[in-house]
Structure 1
Amino acid sequence: MRSCQIVMGPAGTGKSTYCKNMHEFCAASGRLTYVVNLDPAAESFDYPVAFDIRDLISLEDVMEELGYGPNGGLVYCMEYLIQNLDWLQDLLLEYSDDDYFIFDCPGQIELYSHLPVMKHLCTALQEWSFSICGVYLIDSLFISDPSKFISGILCSLSAMVQLELPHVNVLTKCDLVDEQELEKYLDPSSGYLLETLTNATTNKWQPLSRAVCNVVRSSVSRPWAFVHTDG
């Protein structure tokens, strides 16, 4: 059975950087991996691209020919991919059953939270005998604002429920935040998140804060810290 990671998360969280570092880590460990670009708006890469959705359709062409904006154009591109999954399947068939793939996905959050596009893609990969892990990236700079961190975690939970995959949360840009502060957020079961969120809200919203923190504590996997290295 072939294996892959579906790398998700909002724009700017460092998905391509994660893919680059994961590719280099696997190479150093003797594990050959192939990174697939599924972002039709991508412009350049720091990793070798096995194949690229822009060879099928690009956001620039859609915006120019159909007059769509960036968001609508990106959704159109991903829907076009789903309508032409034979293109992706034919490319994947050129690789062996032991090969490992990393799919670098777009940063439009609705693709994971409620639109059916990524669900259809994951279902197709499973039908093609892929074992899939969802990797959801969250910007660790959010820990400076408890409300932003909760928002990021809930978006991750939405993707986990929508896609129904084994799921890992990864905090990125950890080298830019205080290590001791970061450690407090790496364990959702601790009371630190609730305490911090409660202190930042009025009495009116504290019951909601407790309820949300309970959902996070019981439903969301422990986030893992990812530190980007250049070497």
Structure 2
Amino acid sequence: MSGHAGAASSLRFGQVVIGPPGSGKTTYCRAMQEFLTQLGRKVVVVNMDPANEGPPYPCAVDIAELVALDDVMEGMKLGPNGGLLYSMEYVEANLDWLENKLKEHGDCYFLFDCPGQVELYTHQTSVKNIFSQLAKWNFRLAAVHLVDSHFCADPAKFISVLCTSLSTMLHVELPHVNILSKMDLIEQYGKLAFNLDFYTEVMDLTYLLDHLAADPFFKKFHRLNEKLAEVIQDYSLVSFVPLSVKDKESMIQVLRAVDNANGYCFGDLEERNLQAMMSAAVGADFQFDSTLGVQERYVETRGKTVEEEMMDL
């Protein structure tokens, strides 16, 4: 069974990795590429950021070969933000170049390392149009939106992040997984006001508003914050998966969320490698329970019972 079981051979699956500058997109792409390769998934990384010179991973397609931010800034007399907006418009106008480059990599799983400027995903349409064109080329993509976990330590910043995440989800129009990155560093930013699940599940934000009201600066904006919280909760779309790229179990949780979002199914070899990895990390008892759940949800049993499939493992 192929890595995208039951899907047409022309389908190509992947992730568009987005998020603010410094949220860890390039680190994520490198870690996810290594992780997926260990699982037996043939993966290529596409650098979609014209400002990303010399990425630290093997790069199958590099948009900087088409348009480089430094050249645009110098030639058009633009600053970094204006240059990046122009660059992505240039990519949109030259999609045939991108299509020909992507055609060189058949039967692969794609990681698109995208630029970080927030306005590209909330206001400007070039990146959204590029994603739409990828869908027309039979790519089945999930947007992986990285947010630095240190924002959890500041209620005002966290509400801002929630608004940005919601706006991005509505604008990009792709299956969406929000990630709280750098979880291994979160304790360096200060003590969280609530347990982690409050932030990942985006529970009752009125508790967060109470914390803001205690700050003299934000007290006068209480009504505004209250309305922002209502908007976020009324949509009921924003939640987060915590991630530390150094933690295999954390990487597995993220991968499961992304594969659920874009419809990718595990093949036999990949599933066995995943279970071996989990077994080595957390022990045989957990491995059995986890395998059972995975078999029921993801793996085609080809007429066998789950128990018979388990015996095969």
- Same fold, TM exceeding 0.5? yes
SS in 2 for 1:178: helix
Structure 2 Cα separation of the partners of residues 193 and 133 of structure 1:
29
Structure 1 Cα separation of the partners of residues 157 and 151 of structure 2:
5
SS in 2 for 1:107: coil
Report deviation, 1:120.
0.6
Report deviation, 1:93.
1.4
Match for residue 12 of structure 1 among 22, 42, 46: 22
Kept in 2, the 8 Å contact 1:193–1:213? The answer is: no
* 1:143 counterpart residue number: 152
Q: CA RMSD in A?
A: 2.0
* 1:108 counterpart residue number: 117
Give TM-score, length-normalised by structure 2: 0.68
Letter in 2 for 1:177: I
Kept in 2, the 8 Å contact 1:41–1:60? The answer is: yes
- Structure 1: 5+ residue stretches without partners: none
* 1:28 counterpart residue number: 38
**Could you say which structure has the higher strand fraction?**
1
Identity %: 45
Kept in 1, the 8 Å contact 2:165–2:238? The answer is: no
Match for residue 40 of structure 1 among 50, 62, 67: 50
Query: How does 1:101-180 map onto structure 2 within 5 Å?
Result: 101-178=110-187
Kept in 2, the 8 Å contact 1:33–1:101? The answer is: yes
* 1:102-159 C-alpha deviation (Å, 9 max, x unpaired): 1101111111101011111011011101111111111111122111111122111111
SS in 1 for 2:61: strand
Asked which structure has the greater CA Rg, the reply is 2
Kept in 2, the 8 Å contact 1:198–1:209? The answer is: no
* 1:193 counterpart residue number: 208
Q: Count matched residues.
A: 229
Report deviation, 1:82.
0.3
Kept in 2, the 8 Å contact 1:33–1:100? The answer is: yes
Report deviation, 1:43.
2.2
Letter in 2 for 1:208: L
**Which stretch shifts more, 115-124 or 172-181?**
172-181
**Which stretch shifts more, 189-198 or 157-166?**
189-198
Structure 1 Cα separation of the partners of residues 15 and 213 of structure 2:
35
Kept in 2, the 8 Å contact 1:135–1:169? The answer is: yes
Q: Which contiguous aligned blocks of 4+ residues in structure 1 show a shift greater than 6 angstroms?
A: none
- Structure 2: 5+ residue stretches without partners: 1-10, 249-313
Match for residue 226 of structure 1 among 234, 243, 248: 243
The 1:197/1:29 distance shift into structure 2, 3 A limit, reads farther
Structure 2 Cα separation of the partners of residues 230 and 87 of structure 1:
37
Give TM-score, length-normalised by structure 1: 0.91
**Could you say which structure has the higher helix fraction?**
2
Structure 1 Cα separation of the partners of residues 222 and 74 of structure 2:
48
Match for residue 50 of structure 1 among 60, 72, 80: 60
Letter in 2 for 1:175: D
